[in-house]
A and B are shown apart, each in its own frame.
Chain A
Amino acid sequence: MTEKVKVRIDGEVISATAGQTILEVARANNKYIPALCYMEGLTSVGACRLCMVEVSGVAKLVPACTTPVQEGQAVATTSPQLDSYRKIALELLFAERNHVCAVCVSSGHCELQTLAQEHGVTHVRYPYSCPRLPVDTTHPRYVLDHNRCVLCGRCVRTCAEIEGAHVWDVAGRGITSHLVSELQRPWGEATSCTSCGKCVQACPTGAMAEKGWGVEEMTKHRTVVSRLTSMREGS
């Protein structure tokens, strides 16, 4: 019933199921493609542009998390151009808001920090925007620090797709885009929030954290989302 396709990733011929994305197939076959907005168990949105790959016969780069595999496709996951673009994307994320690892609760457990280290981002070539951004401390158990948000939207999708509460959304456009809870209500006053904390676990950086943890102390259980999804699919 499920149609099988053969693709070539970094030269290796791999058998995949039609409808799978390049990223899913690559990861299932131990091929590493970096990604930040992708999370197993959630809908892919292709927002962070870190999973861009080269596909033979396609003139532009494509995001691996939203591009389905096709029969005979040849994919390159690394190249000097890809490395350069990924580095630029990471640097722009750092330049956009106030990411200060030294005092961050997630330092040492942060996906953005890890990606930067993997890609050799030793400094940022673009001027920092240094925006004045608030910290929402109104929730009794959790805190949202907009300074550390990369707008990956994982919290938005986790809340909508897994918890079904849809507390979170992204408001504004372009550089003014920002996370809002329940149509601009402070998080602590969002009546639809069940305080389940799955958004916190899904957040790749220290933007969402449990209250009370000091620097480097906020470790997250990121498999919780994929585990819930697979259990529901299995039921």
Chain B
Amino acid sequence: MTTRTPRTPKSTDSAGAAAAEAASTKAAPVAPTTLPPDAPRKLTIHHVSRIEGHAKIVIRLDEEGQVSDTQFHVTQVRGFEKFVEGRPYYEMPSITSRICGICPVSHLLASSKACDAIMAVRIPVAAARARELVHMAQFVQSHALSFFHLSAPDLLLGMDYDPAKRNVAGLLEEHPDALRDGIALRKFGQTVIERLGKERVHPSWTVPGGVNAPIDPSVRDKTLVELPAALAIVQRTLALWKRTVDGYPDEIESFSNFPTMYCGLVGPDGSLRLYDGNLRFVGPDGAMVADQVPPEAYAAHIAEATLPDSYLKAPYYRPAGRPAGIYRVGPLARLNVAERCGTPLADAELAEYRQRYGRIVQSGFHYHYARLIEALYGLERMGELLDDPAILGTKVRAHAGVNNLEGVGIIEAPRGTLIHHYKVDDNGAMTWANLIVATGHNNLAMGRGVLQVAKRFVDGRQIQEGALNRVSALVRAYDPCLSCSTHVLGQAAVVLQLEGPDGELLDEVGTV
């Protein structure tokens, strides 16, 4: 399958593209060295599209029209941590899962684990397997959504493609097979979630102490029948991506391509863990910074800063302080942190990935590649779990009251490490909650990444829609869930603003 050359400038005789550009960017006269007085000095991407949640990006230009600064703002707040105070702790899974409709299962699981800790129970084996199984289904559907529905328009059609068609409709014209694969893969994940939890979104199956019903053998059998087709889709897509990825050398070089620390859950042997494990932090060169940090000790390693211009908090590695403590989570970070995946096909892909880009992969552009490898791991792990007879065990719930006044639950959500930390009173009423969501961990890195990519592609003397799209695409590579990370209420959107040296608003763009 061919892909449009990513760096090819947008065709100027395309009426649709020209109209869209005119609509999305104000006229920017070309000047040889400096900006004329009426040229834009502040550019706003308003809103960043094809992400989950609301965000705005402001790009400031200097006198020469070059990017001097950028800011990544997350623009709304929801206040879950506050309004859950007083609620019984065992309601937290259902309340916090409403933070997000894309990955409610992640919040359900992290919250249930925090409740398990408050109850001081070790959940039955069948329940642990069942939870991991629904988590893998969630991973597959969420990664499919990110890669195919949200990012593939940039990746397969090209960053400079006609913005009017740079969406799933355009994919349908140019890459119908890939789009069909994406839809089928996401459907598979969602169907498994529905079979297990009776609902595709916000299933109530996962509860404190385990799950509320054992898995029916017919669910296992149906899922095992469909698994090979899903595996084939991911393998096809990986092959497609490996043919495509090297067509983006500039993006690879400038999409958050800077050293940071990385964080993720690992098993006792250092292998990839998504449902259960301990935290590991590695340095930019892969050197071990902290290993096997149990969930309850997270606060000794992670601190949160509040930023003046964003509702999204900015976690950092506490011992290193700011800004040195910048770290990343999510697919890229997990594959940097883990020694191996632990399943044969994913490990083979991981070996090739590391052969191409090294043991520690730095460029944020490779979130996409890492995401596909994880989708493969998720499917293989589903197969392993379903093949384990323990998955059908009928003892799936531990009952207990309040045995700890504090509990921490950590899982790897599709977008990265998800932490739920609760405190309760003697009667089980919530007194305090702290949620650190994947996108939050990546906040500082996304902010720096926006600056890097804007400096590389945005030229105030000649603003190209495709250049602004690359700024949005950088954000998309992280697959941020801004509604989760601020626990924000709103529609998917990011704003990009271009500001002049005096702070005046020069341009404001809502990409489509």
Contacts and interface: CB of A to CB of B under 8 A. Distances in A.
A62 B444 CA distance: 65
A137 B94 contact: no
Most buried by A among B87, B91, B95: B91
Interface string B422-439: 000101110000000000
A15 B244 CA distance: 82
Nearest to B399: A212
Contacts of A215: 91, 93-94, 204
Interface in B70-109: 86-88, 90-91, 93-95, 98
B127 to A, nearest CB: 13
Instruction: Among A103, A105, A140, A216, find the residue whose CB has the most chain B CB atoms closer than 10 A.
Output: A103
Contacts of B428: 137, 211
A57 interface: no
Contacts of A137: 88, 425, 427-429
A134 interface: yes
A138 interface: yes
Nearest to A105: B91
B401 A211 contact: yes
B202 interface: yes
**Interface size bucket, B side?**
20 to 34
B208 interface: yes
A133 B512 CA distance: 43
B370 interface: no
Residue among B86, B98, B202, B399 with most chain A CB within 10 A: B86
Interface string A42-83: 000000000000000000000000000000000000000000
B207 interface: yes
Report, nearest first, the 8 A-B pairs whose CB atoms are least far apart.
A215-B94, A137-B427, A214-B207, A137-B429, A103-B94, A215-B204, A216-B204, A103-B95
Interface of B: 86-88, 90-91, 93-95, 98, 202, 204, 207-208, 212, 399, 401, 425, 427-429
27 contacts: A102-B98, A103-B91, A103-B94, A103-B98, A134-B86, A137-B88, A137-B425, A137-B427, A137-B428, A137-B429, A138-B427, A143-B88, A188-B427, A211-B88, A211-B90, A211-B401, A212-B208, A212-B401, A213-B90, A214-B91, A214-B207, A214-B208, A214-B212, A215-B91, A215-B93, A217-B207, A217-B212
Interface of A: 102-103, 105, 134-135, 137-138, 140, 143, 188, 211-217
